[in-house]
């Protein structure tokens, strides 16, 4: 009888078996050089070899699960690998070694997968961070990174994370949503799409707002798809997620400071640099700080058609946040001057929300027409009106046009878009 025996194996036995196989493969491969593809193939070969020597009487499906898990530990991200490979999962959240949550269809589910212990979890964290030159320790307990497939990762460890190391992974969607899919999912109406397409092509400056995980980046991807292919586009992101298909695209990405606290390249740095690169449009993945001022100045100085996103709870809240972020630039500007910059620069705010049933929806399209006195005025063009919740917990409501035409309608017409009055809910004339 081998060290595992032929009795019915218990959970602890499977943990020991996987650890044994990992050690065998590691020893066999020590000192040898393989690229990632070769190592995966060689690892499976060595696992099969080590497994065959144990004479275990396990079902084939159990054997395959064990081999898969061991390969994930050796060349993947351990218990997270299967979750990252699952196309139905949008986000993965690890709260210490004993709690893993995933988001499916907008709702959180706790799953049975676990890490062996905190050391195991830290090994996977280091495997994620080291290839991109990031590190976490007592003095620097947080880090952002990007997986090779483009997924965004945030890591927080003790002492900041009280209950153990945390990982949050926002998975990168290779097949981004299209406008037609948004219509099918009732995230937008056909009239909304037609209107927003006209606005993008006509070079309106658009800010997409919403709360966390409301779909802002997904909508930004859809809108950038409407940009004509002959324009030079500069994109600026913390982690490159946008998937522009146009020919003349320059993608730039921020960089954090190194372990010595130097070498950081901020969004603001890149916005300033983009202005020297002869852009037709500047797209900023998200404004969070003083770069808001640079973005407003770019929009006001001939770079029409720029797009960005920001966290806000409503279009009115977005104006307040833009004011605050502009003040963070360090310039001592009067609030009236800042509001005038905002009203002059931004044409449209598109607000997204994640509703209680997990669905994501454009709930408001709001024009920023002008200043009245010392206030920036807002005019809702489209709104989502919720009327209730059905027995299954699904939100009931309707997307409606308000009947108002945008003040910038002449600019749309100059660009060749004579939109039907029906789009704005005023009937045929």
User: Closest Cα partner for 285 from 373, 126, 170, 390?
Assistant: 170
**Regarding the domain delimited by 179-424, which CATH topology (the fold level of the hierarchy) does it fall under?**
Rossmann fold (3.40.50)
- Is residue 429 very low, low, confident or very high in pLDDT (cuts 50, 70, 90)? very low
Using DSSP, how many helices (H) and how many strands (E) does the chain show?
13, 17
Q: Is 102:109 a contact under the CB 8 Å cutoff?
A: yes
3-class DSSP state for residue 320?
A: helix
Q: pLDDT (tens digit, 9 = 90+) per residue, 12-54? A: 777 778 777 777 777 766 655 555 566 677 777 778 778 787 8
User: Closest Cα partner for 222 from 182, 250, 195?
Assistant: 182
The long-range contacts involving 261-270, CB below 8 angstroms and separated by at least 24 positions, are: 266/291, 267/236, 267/238, 267/291, 268/294, 268/329, 270/236
The answer to whether residue 89 scores a pLDDT higher than 70 is yes
Rounded distance between C-alpha atoms, residue 283 and residue 286, angstroms = 9
Exposed/middle/buried for residue 230 (C-beta within 10 Å: 0-12, 13-18, 19+): exposed
81-170 and 179-424: identical CATH topology? no
3-class DSSP state for residue 151?
A: coil
Rounded distance between C-alpha atoms, residue 333 and residue 325, angstroms = 12
| More confident position, 109 or 200 | 200
Q: pLDDT (tens digit, 9 = 90+) per residue, 92-108? A: 999 999 999 999 877 88
The helix or strand, by DSSP H or E, that contains position 156, with its residue range, turns out to be strand 152-156
Instruction: Tell me the average pLDDT across 358-365.
Output: 93
Phi–psi pair at 343, nearest 5 degrees: -65, -35
- Locus of tokens 């770069």: 291
Q: Domain 81-170 maps to which CATH number in 3.10.20.30, 3.40.50.2300, 3.40.50.1010, 3.30.450.370?
A: 3.30.450.370
Tell whether omega for the bond before 66 is within 30 degrees of 0, i.e. cis. no
- Is residue 9 very low, low, confident or very high in pLDDT (cuts 50, 70, 90)? low
CA distances (Å), origin 369, targets 133, 177, 260: 45, 30, 47
Q: Is 426:404 a contact under the CB 8 Å cutoff?
A: no
3-class DSSP state for residue 260?
A: coil
Q: Any idea which of 131-140, 162-171, 268-277, 366-375 has the lowest mean pLDDT?
A: 131-140
The answer to whether residue 10 scores a pLDDT higher than 70 is no
Any idea where the domains of the chain sit in the sequence?
11-75, 81-170, 179-424
| More confident position, 34 or 189 | 189
CA atoms 6, 11, 17, 20: torsion sign: negative
Q: pLDDT (tens digit, 9 = 90+) per residue, 268-282? A: 999 999 999 999 999
Exposed/middle/buried for residue 120 (C-beta within 10 Å: 0-12, 13-18, 19+): middle
Rounded distance between C-alpha atoms, residue 110 and residue 93, angstroms = 9
| More confident position, 165 or 120 | 165
Q: What is the DSSP letter of 255?
A: B
Q: Is 333:326 a contact under the CB 8 Å cutoff?
A: yes
- CA 64, distance to chain mean position in Å, is 33
How is 13-78 classified by DSSP, letter by letter? HHHHHHHHHHHHHHHHHTT----HHHHHHHHHHHHHHHHHTT-----HHHHHHHHHHHHHHHHS-G
The answer to whether residue 58 scores a pLDDT higher than 50 is yes
Average pLDDT, the chain: 87
What is the reported pLDDT for 32?
59
Rounded distance between C-alpha atoms, residue 222 and residue 178, angstroms = 6
User: Closest Cα partner for 226 from 250, 206, 246?
Assistant: 246
How is 166-181 classified by DSSP, letter by letter? EEEEE---SSPPPHHH
């Amino acid at each position: 009888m081998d060290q595992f025996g032929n009795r019915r194996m218990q959970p602890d036995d499977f943990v020991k078996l996987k650890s044994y196989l990992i050690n065998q493969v590691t020893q066999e491969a020590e000192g040898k050089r393989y690229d990632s593809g070769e190592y995966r193939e060689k690892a499976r070969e060595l696992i099969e070899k080590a497994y065959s020597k144990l004479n275990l009487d396990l079902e084939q499906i159990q054997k395959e699960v064990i081999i898969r898990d061991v390969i994930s530990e050796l060349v993947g991200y351990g218990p997270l690998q299967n979750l990252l490979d699952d196309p139905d999962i949008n986000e993965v959240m690890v709260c210490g070694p004993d709690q893993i949550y995933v988001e499916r269809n907008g709702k959180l589910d706790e799953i049975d997968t676990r890490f062996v212990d905190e050391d195991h979890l830290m090994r996977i964290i280091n495997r994620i961070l080291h290839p991109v030159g990031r590190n976490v320790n007592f003095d620097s307990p947080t880090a952002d990174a990007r997986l090779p497939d483009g997924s965004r990762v945030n890591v927080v460890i003790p002492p900041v994370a009280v209950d153990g190391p945390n990982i949050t992974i926002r998975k990168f969607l290779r097949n981004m949503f299209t406008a037609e899919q948004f219509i099918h999912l009732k995230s937008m109406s056909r009239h909304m799409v037609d209107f927003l397409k006209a606005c993008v092509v006509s070079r309106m400056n658009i800010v997409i707002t919403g709360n966390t995980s409301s779909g802002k980046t997904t909508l930004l991807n859809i809108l950038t798809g409407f940009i004509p292919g002959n324009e030079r586009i500069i994109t600026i992101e913390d982690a490159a997620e946008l998937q522009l298909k146009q020919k003349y695209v320059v993608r730039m990405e921020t960089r954090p400071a190194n372990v010595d606290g130097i070498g950081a390249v901020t969004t603001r740095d890149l916005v300033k640099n983009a202005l020297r690169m002869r852009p037709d449009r500047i797209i900023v993945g998200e404004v969070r700080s003083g770069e808001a001022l640079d973005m407003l100045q770019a929009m006001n100085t001939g770079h029409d058609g720029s797009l960005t996103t920001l966290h806000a709870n409503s279009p009115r809240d977005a104006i307040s946040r833009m004011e605050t972020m502009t003040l963070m630039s360090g310039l001592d500007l009067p609030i009236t001057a800042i509001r005038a910059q905002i009203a002059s620069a931004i044409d449209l705010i598109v607000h997204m929300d994640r509703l209680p049933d997990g669905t994501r929806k454009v709930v408001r399209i709001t024009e920023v027409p002008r200043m009245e006195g010392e206030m920036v005025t807002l005019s809702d063009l489209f709104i989502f009106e919720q009327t209730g919740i059905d027995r299954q917990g699904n939100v009931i409501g309707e997307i409606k046009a308000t009947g108002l035409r945008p003040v910038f309608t002449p600019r749309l017409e100059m660009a060749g878009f004579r939109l039907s009055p029906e789009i704005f809910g005023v009937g045929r004339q």
